[in-house]
Chain A
């Protein structure tokens, strides 16, 4: 069943039921260093990605370090 969530500000239909599955679905290597995830304004630690559910309407941020001053 697909649900509608927001990923990095954009509406995205997803089948994934957990954060870990969402990352896989979006083609993001979960072992890559520096990736961090927040769901509805709260950080979800890397160790919790497997258990944290993705729910309809969730607002999810996936970030990593970039160049900057």
Chain B
């Protein structure tokens, strides 16, 4: 039987090519069930101020023993805030991995490429394994690799938009040129989008809203697991070239009536 191969980031191997977010689920049990159904091994978490009115469940206690927690710097708009958030995350979670998010503004949530490279460079120098969330720009991805990023995480489309992969050609170019793993992050709307990312050649997909805000998150998580596997297998098998005209798949000889 053909099985989906493992993938590796910064020397760590994972059986699942799906990285899942933990935000926006209707409730905690649905989140736990959806994570389970997705087959993921890596779950992202944000780092936020403790509410001084007391605090509820800890993500570490809830999912930390079952999944590798990948802290993000979501919402940060400056190099200083992103670097400090990463450093707090390292202390909080005892991990030197960080999904580096540095957004340009709160309306588009689009990555600020200029600050991103600077923050990535600083964090790499401080010993972090940096996974930067970036635009689908092959040159920006190259710059992020140049400063030592462990992977690149180009967006398919804006965060939470569900618009899928808006520029598959850029993503393909990034994949073809990248010496580090490419994780398509953000914009996935449904299972076929995730499959497309893997077909294009992305090493993995990171998604959240497509599952957490679907009508049935556990069912969608299951669909994502299958889509990721299907996409990876299709990538390995190799798609046929597109052609403009029909090509019969049944024999042309021996037709009755001929």
Contact = CB atoms under 8 A, between A and B. Distances in A.
Interface of A: 7-10, 12, 26-28, 32-38, 41, 43, 45-46, 61-69
Nearest to B72: A68
A21 B48 CA distance: 21
Given A28-B55, A69-B24, 9 more contacts: A34-B64, A36-B47, A37-B88, A38-B84, A43-B87, A65-B58, A65-B93, A68-B74, A68-B208
The residue among B21, B47, B212 with the most chain A CB atoms within 10 A of its own CB is B47
A64 B50 contact: yes
Interface residues of B, number: 41
Please provide the 3 A-B residue pairs with the shortest distance between their CB atoms, ordered closest to farther.
A69-B21, A68-B46, A69-B208
B92 A36 contact: yes
A26 B60 contact: no
Contacts of A12: 52
B80 interface: yes
B72 A63 contact: no
A46 B212 CA distance: 33
B190 interface: no
Interface in B59-87: 59-61, 64, 69, 71-72, 74, 80, 84-85, 87
Contacts of B72: 68-69
